[in-house]
Amino acid sequence: MKKQERIDFISQTLNEIYPITTIPLNHKNIFELLIAVLLSAQCTDERVNKVTPKLFSKGKNVFEIAKLPLEDIYNIIRPCGLAPKKSKAILDLSKILIKKFNGSVPNNYTELEKLPGVGHKTASVVMSQGFGHSAFPIDTHIHRLAQRWGLTNGKNVKQTEKDMKRLFPEKSWNKLHLQIIYYGREFCTARSCYGIICKICKNCFPLRKKPIKTKK
């Protein structure tokens, strides 16, 4: 297949398998989404969804979270891993949101990425899934599949984001981001397929015989 044919096939297949996409991280508002995405770094969404209800029962909003002892936050989120760093980030960013933004989450990349524990990927998820802006957050699944599907050279996630935005129409970014994540978890996982087994890989590259080594 030529690249545009692959792009069309990928879009069609993902829309058939995942016609409706829901955000995998449970949340009631943008602040809770921000915290959930922060906690999801090197942690499964399933585990995050078990931890966040406990955290938000202890502190129901940013003002209450900001008053919690650091140790309490740490003990609650410890199952998510990297708890010392994440608990401090949660406490510090909550205080900053109150001091600088009256408790609201800022609706722009510049201010979001200044918050403790918030990188470009986290900010992109909040901007797209929280505020509804067009964005293409690149996580490990998307970075891996974009390489297996011949859509990027995999040099780094920044380049992958640039390539995916160039190849797919902007109106599809928010949904496509979730579709690829779901597909990567279900059919083209890190320890299977390797670019030669799943439906998309087989159809896009029918002559491919050797497993693809993806760059991290």
Q: Is the pLDDT of residue 154 over 90?
A: no
Q: Could you tell me the CATH superfamily of domain 30-130?
A: Hypothetical protein; domain 2 (1.10.340.30)
Please tell me if the domain spanning 3-21+136-204 has the same topology as the one spanning 30-130.
no
pLDDT digits (tens, 9 = 90+) for 114-130: 999 999 999 999 999 99
Cα 34 vs. chain centroid, distance in angstroms? Answer: 11
Q: Which residues carry out catalysis?
A: 121, 139
What is d(CA 129, CA 137) in angstroms, rounded to the nearest whole number? 10
Reported as a single tens digit per residue, the pLDDT across 20-31 is 999 999 999 999
Taken in order 58, 59, 64, 69, the sign of the CA dihedral is positive
Q: 149: which residues sit within 8 A by CB, 6+ positions away?
A: 6, 10, 200, 201, 204
Torsion of CA 188, 194, 199, 200, to 10 degrees: 90
Burial class of 84 by CB neighbour count within 10 A (0 to 12, 13 to 18, 19+): exposed
Distance, CA of 144 to CA of 138 (rounded, Å) = 10
Question: Which tens digit of pLDDT belongs to each residue from 198-209?
Answer: 999 999 999 999
**Domain extents in the chain:** 3-21+136-204, 30-130
- Counting every residue written for the chain, the total comes to 216
What is the predicted pLDDT for the residue at 203? Answer: 96
Q: How confident is the model at residue 35 (pLDDT cuts 50, 70, 90)?
A: very high
pLDDT of residue 214: 87
pLDDT tens sequence across 38-47: 999 989 999 9
Lowest mean pLDDT among 57-61, 82-86, 153-157: 153-157
User: In CATH, what is the architecture of 3-21+136-204?
Assistant: Orthogonal Bundle (1.10)
Q: What is the mean pLDDT of the chain?
A: 95
Rounded Cα gap, residues 156 and 68, in angstroms? 37
